[in-house]
């Protein structure tokens, strides 16, 4: 039994200053229209939650079901930090596979504060996210810079390489109507933008945005019975957590685990996210035609290319320089424009990646199409051991 994506929809990303529900309803209606599915056919609504938009029992699944008009659907709410959207998709997929649902609507939407994301107010001494701000003053860009410096020291990456990632993604995003930033950049412009956290400049780091994304998932049988055109199959969803010992520091942790007794693990946490998806789908990285990865910073995109085994460790810069990760290259990465062009809208971004791959595999990504794409993979990582990878195929 397969689960298919019958439709995908988004609300344009930006800083609109309105309630997140408005964005989510817009994306949901776009996805339903794209699928040709009536709202009354939806029997499950799964909403992506963010701690900024209220407590989980009220916000997300119930909020969107109410806003769209009560239709008797069952509801669920998912929270997995930046991997929230993929977890929501997995929840919907599981109920369809179990035969408990036929048509599920998955929605994520966010209204973000100005500036970089920070923990909620209050004293939380067991919260590593709160502690890293309180004890170290360690903002997200500071972590991104440490990852970037590590690439420079280990693999010879340069600031120009990081800037070239921005140049590539900015060019990809020009033709994406949902992208917030639709303007070409040059390496010189990136390097001339203000230094935020050495070696990363302002244009190396993604913004925070308001936005929404939604997908309609159905059973393959429902898709056949209703003649849904060009459905995309969900081949795998990985939401694995880290395995002890975690020997590469991940935000927001302050230290790594000791491997003195256990030895170094076979894979890092981020490597394990993609590998679990490959194992479930029964394919390998050599089968992937297009990837949407979590480019919180330009340097992090290079890390993800290797974590997904799209090249060997330390070779991502060579792929970038050869043009292999741009549209028309061997393995295009972030044809949507990535977070460089969208910014972060936490509950929506993993769903937005799936929207983009759906359109790519259906040949509908006008102006940014990866020709002949049959298999796509996403990668995403959130705080507190959350991570996700989704593989779609046609």
**Pair of tokens at residue 383:** 């705080």
**Pair of tokens at residue 20:** 């997140």
Q: Do domains 3-115+210-234 and 128-205+235-393 have the same CATH topology?
A: yes
pLDDT for 57: 47
Nearest C-alpha neighbor of 303 from the set 284, 317, 283: 317
355-387: pLDDT as tens digits: 999 999 999 999 999 999 999 999 999 988 999
227-266: pLDDT as tens digits: 987 789 999 999 999 999 999 888 898 899 999 999 999 9
Q: How many CA atoms lie within 13 A of 216 on its CB side?
A: 29
The domain made up of 128-205+235-393 has a fold known as Peroxisomal Thiolase; Chain A, domain 1 (3.40.47)
CB 313, CB 216: distance < 8 Å: no
pLDDT for 221: 94
CB atoms within 10 A of CB 123: 7
CB 24, CB 50: distance < 8 Å: no
308-364: pLDDT as tens digits: 999 999 999 999 999 999 999 999 999 999 999 999 999 999 999 999 999 999 999
Check: pTM over 0.85? Answer yes or no: yes
Q: Which residues pair with 291 in a beta bridge?
A: 333, 377
* Domain range list for the chain: 3-115+210-234, 128-205+235-393
CB atoms within 10 A of CB 279: 12
**Pair of tokens at residue 109:** 């939407």
The domain made up of 3-115+210-234 has a fold known as Peroxisomal Thiolase; Chain A, domain 1 (3.40.47)
* Residue 59 clears pLDDT 70, i.e. is over it: no
111-130: pLDDT as tens digits: 988 888 887 778 889 888 89
């Amino acid at each position: 039994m397969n689960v298919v994506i019958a439709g995908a929809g988004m609300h344009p990303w930006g800083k609109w200053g309105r309630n997140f529900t408005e964005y989510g309803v817009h994306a949901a209606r776009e996805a339903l229209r794209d699928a040709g599915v009536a709202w009354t056919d939806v029997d499950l609504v799964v909403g992506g939650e963010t701690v900024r938009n209220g407590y989980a029992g009220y916000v997300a699944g119930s909020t969107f079901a109410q806003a769209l008009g009560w239709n008797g659907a069952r509801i669920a709410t998912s929270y997995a930090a930046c991997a929230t959207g993929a977890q929501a998709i997995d929840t919907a997929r599981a109920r369809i596979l179990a035969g408990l649902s036929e048509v599920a609507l998955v929605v994520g939407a966010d209204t973000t504060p100005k500036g970089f994301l920070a923990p909620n107010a209050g004293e939380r001494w067991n919260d590593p996210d709160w502690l890293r701000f309180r004890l170290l003053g360690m903002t997200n860009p500071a972590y991104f810079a440490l990852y970037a410096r590590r690439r420079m020291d280990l693999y010879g990456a340069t600031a120009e390489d990081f800037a070239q990632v921005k140049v590539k993604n900015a060019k990809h995003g020009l033709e994406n109507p949902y992208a917030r930033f639709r303007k070409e950049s040059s390496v010189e412009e990136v390097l001339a933008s203000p230094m935020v956290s050495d070696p990363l400049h302002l244009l190396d780091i993604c913004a925070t945005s308001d936005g929404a994304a939604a997908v309609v998932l159905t059973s393959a049988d429902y898709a056949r019975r209703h003649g849904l055109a060009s459905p995309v199959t969900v081949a795998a969803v990985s939401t694995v957590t880290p395995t002890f010992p975690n020997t590469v520091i991940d935000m927001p942790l302050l230290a790594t685990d000791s491997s003195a007794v256990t030895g170094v693990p076979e894979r890092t946490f981020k490597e394990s996210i993609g590998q679990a998806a490959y194992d479930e789908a029964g394919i390998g990285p050599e089968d992937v035609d297009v990837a949407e990865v979590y480019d919180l910073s330009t340097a992090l995109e290079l890390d993800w290319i290797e974590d997904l085994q799209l090249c060997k460790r330390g070779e991502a810069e060579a792929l970038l320089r050869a043009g292999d990760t741009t549209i028309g290259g061997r393995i295009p990465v972030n044809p949507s424009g990535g977070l460089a062009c969208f910014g972060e809208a936490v509950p929506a971004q993993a769903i937005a990646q799936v929207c983009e791959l759906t359109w790519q595999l259906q040949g509908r990504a006008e102006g940014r199409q990866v020709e002949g794409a049959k298999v796509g993979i996403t990668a995403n990582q959130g705080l507190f051991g959350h991570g996700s990878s989704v593989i779609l195929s046609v």
